[in-house]
Amino acid sequence: GQQVMQIPQYQHVQEGEDFTTYCNSSTTLSNIQWYKQRPGGHPVFLIQLVKSGEVKKQKRLTFQFGEAKKNSSLHITATQTTDVGTYFCAGNFGNEKLTFGTGTRLTIIP
Amino acid sequence: SQTIHQWPATLVQPVGSPLSLECTVEGTSNPNLYWYRQAAGRGLQLLFYSVGIGQISSEVPQNLSASRPQDRQFILSSKKLLLSDSGFYLCAWVSGRGTDTQYFGPGTRLTVL
């Protein structure tokens, strides 16, 4: 079946350190989206990547889509306490639904 | 602007009781609608989605069902709840094409005792 694997499951970092989460699909994706879920909240859309090799930045966040459109990454530079939460990638295989990764829970050590 | 509502926000139900969760969207027409379940500390499991009134696609066989009686209303139901039905239920909508951004409602936290 169509699955999206995401690693790591958990990441604990000191405030100011960088953080990266990775997603991989066994088949080519039409696009990949990233969401953030704060503790106790609901997922909120961050960004969508569509083109092969695409790189997008949002302040300290950098999103990449692989050349083969099978993998993606989210990198946060110099983490802050406001970055706490679970980051999900969600792949679209060209149909009406998204397949979410298992998420990476980020905790920040002040 | 578009908004999505879910209720109730929290719910505690005994095993074997029925369930009805409602999701409504405002400010958009003919959205795709989705029901997800999230177990504590886990990822999002797609349960059902709908591309139009009366059209329901089921992703996971279980004792839950979904209905879309109106364009902007999506209902999740069960005749008899199981302990394993506990979780955080999220409704989401997409405007237009299903490949676009999903906007999530605030969710319903269901505890089955």
Q: What is the pLDDT of residue B28?
A: 87
Most A CBs within 10 A among B55, B89, B99, hence the mutation to make, goes to: B99
Per-residue pLDDT tens over the stretch B41-69: 788 999 999 999 999 999 886 899 999 99
| Residue B9 binned pLDDT confidence (cut-offs 50, 70, 90) | very high
Cβ contact, residue pair B98, A103, below 8 Å: no
Query: Looking at chain B, which residue has its C-alpha nearest residue A31?
Result: B99
Where would I find the beta strands (DSSP E) of A19-103?
19-25, 31-37, 44-49, 55-58, 61-65, 71-76, 85-92, 98-100
Please identify every stretch of chain A with a pLDDT value under 50, giving residue numbers as ranges. none
Please indicate if any CB of chain B lies within 8 Å of the CB of A102. Answer: yes
| Residue B97 binned pLDDT confidence (cut-offs 50, 70, 90) | low
Q: Which member of A43, A45, A92 has the closest CB to residue B99?
A: A92
